[in-house]
Structure 1
Amino acid sequence: MNNFILKEKIRNIIDSNDSSLGRAFAYGIQFLIILSVITFSIETLPNLTIQSKQILHLIELFCVIVFTIEYLARIYIADKKIKFVFSFFGLIDLFAILPFYLSFGVDLRSLRLLRMFRLFRLLKLVRYNKALRVFTQAMIAAKEQIILFMVITLILIYFSAVGIYYFENEAQPQHFSSVFESLWWSIVTLTTVGYGDVYPITVGGRIFTFFILLIGLGIVAIPTGIISSALTKSVDSKD
């Protein structure tokens, strides 16, 4: 019985925003997530003093200790512990702390790459931010439309790469030597980025590019409409 009461108390703190302790815990975790990401960025600055590195290490150590306690507490209160460990948030919580322990005291260059996964802490914000949860629900609700849009976009990218290849291959074999080489032009054109490093010089290629650019404007606008509509429905249903 005491074990059950303890679990409920911990659950009310780390899994509920209704109580003052729960809100304080959530805000505290959000602050530590942002703090850890800032320290991660500062660590990449050149010519840091030894004292600065020590301060950053202490901040990192404190954040990891808190995140580790939170992770273990979540496993403790979980009804299905294995399911939680392999769930989305469970893996995010694990990846947020694992690089510190794997690279702690180890000077192997290959393991330093694991520190990049500290950025997974940013994803922990989704757990505590209501607005992000609404956005996540909207994305889930619109996943079929988004998947369909991505499939159509990939098809259009391929067709535009094939088209520009036939128009520009003879005139610019160095840039459009194959359909695969033409995919770069296709991507930057359909997304309306247009770096200008590769561009058509034939009349047919320029006319073709004009129509591809028009299609690209629609490609940029469509997902915006899908997501905004899903967000509106998600907010209305919540209200």
Structure 2
Amino acid sequence: MKDFVKSVVEINDNKLSRWFAFIIQGLILLSVIAFTVETLPDLKPQTRDILKSIEIVTVIVFTVEYLLRIYVADNKLKFIFSFYGIIDLVSILPFYLAIGFDLRSLRALRFLRIFRVLKMVRYNKAMAHFIFAIKSVKEEIILFVMVTMILIYFSGVGIYYFENQAQPENFSSIFDSLWWAIITLTTVGYGDVYPVTIGGRVFTFLILMIGLGIVAIPTGIISSALTKTMDEKNE
């Protein structure tokens, strides 16, 4: 029995498995569409009832799928705490946590439903290659994140000491300066807050140059990993 269930719920080259994957993907899309429509103002009560019914049906199916995947997993704890296991749990958790509560007061839980989109990764080979590529360079990405955090803090402290006296309302503390540093390093820009001192402008120029490099680094790392992954697949 377990082998039969495993052949269906896991991705295999048989008709039942393909139908199971097709149904789950269809329900994921239906759930995401319902979640989006739910945000429209002035919906009719009948429409809200339909959306609620869709939510209940999809949660029941996703719950059964989650329990079946735990049942057929060779290492159940490993699956539960794996990427897919966590996504499967998060996709149904808001529904059960919200039982007995007013969802309007638990908007964060409603937001978690959007993680159902990530369930599609399991059925998409291209996304699977992307996830594998990310895992293969996770140490480089962690190092990049650490360096970025250090640069953000350095930038926030630097601009604070350059601009605090000239613009105490905009750079009143290092915390305010950190927000400026984040949007500057990511080259997003912050039109109404900018340095006015010569030292601040020179410092900002240097930060912008660093920001351009920071944006390019992860792109190069991931692109290289994806290329390597596809070459290994072709071989």
Q: Give TM-score scaled by structure 1 length.
A: 0.89
Aligned pairs for 1:1-239 within 5 A: 6-104=1-99, 106-107=101-102, 110-111=105-106, 113-239=108-234
Q: Following the alignment from structure 2 to structure 1, what is the Cα–Cα distance between the partners of residues 125 and 147?
A: 32
Aligned to 1:3: none
Q: Following the alignment from structure 1 to structure 2, what is the Cα–Cα distance between the partners of residues 204 and 34?
A: 52
**Aligned partners of 1:43 and 1:53 also within 8 Å:** yes
Q: Following the alignment from structure 1 to structure 2, what is the Cα–Cα distance between the partners of residues 183 and 107?
A: 36
Larger deviation, residues 46-55 vs 103-112? 103-112
Name structure 1 gaps, 5 residues minimum: 1-5
**Aligned partners of 1:103 and 1:112 also within 8 Å:** no
Q: Following the alignment from structure 2 to structure 1, what is the Cα–Cα distance between the partners of residues 13 and 155?
A: 53
Name structure 2 gaps, 5 residues minimum: none
- Deviation (angstroms), 1:101: 3.0
Q: Following the alignment from structure 1 to structure 2, what is the Cα–Cα distance between the partners of residues 45 and 12?
A: 40
* Residue type of the alignment partner of 1:120: F
- Deviation (angstroms), 1:21: 2.4
Q: Following the alignment from structure 1 to structure 2, what is the Cα–Cα distance between the partners of residues 181 and 196?
A: 15
Larger deviation, residues 89-98 vs 134-143? 89-98
- Deviation (angstroms), 1:22: 1.7
Quickly say closer, same or farther: Cα 1:83–1:203, change in 2 above 3 A: closer
* Residue type of the alignment partner of 2:25: Q
Q: Secondary structure at the match of 2:169?
A: coil
Q: Secondary structure at the match of 2:176?
A: helix
* Residue type of the alignment partner of 1:127: R
> For residues 58-102 of structure 1, what are the alpha-carbon distances to aligned partners after superposition, in whole Å with 9 as ceiling and x for unaligned?
222221222122122212222333443343322322222232233
**Aligned partners of 1:102 and 1:111 also within 8 Å:** no
Q: Secondary structure at the match of 1:235?
A: helix
Q: How big is the alpha-carbon RMSD for the aligned residues of Structure 1 and Structure 2?
A: 1.9
Q: Following the alignment from structure 2 to structure 1, what is the Cα–Cα distance between the partners of residues 100 and 44?
A: 20
> For residues 93-114 of structure 1, what are the alpha-carbon distances to aligned partners after superposition, in whole Å with 9 as ceiling and x for unaligned?
2222232233345447545643
Q: Following the alignment from structure 2 to structure 1, what is the Cα–Cα distance between the partners of residues 103 and 16?
A: 41
| Residue-pair matches, total | 234
Quickly say closer, same or farther: Cα 1:168–1:101, change in 2 above 3 A: closer
- Deviation (angstroms), 1:27: 2.5
Q: Give TM-score scaled by structure 2 length.
A: 0.91
- Deviation (angstroms), 1:15: 0.6
- Deviation (angstroms), 1:116: 2.7
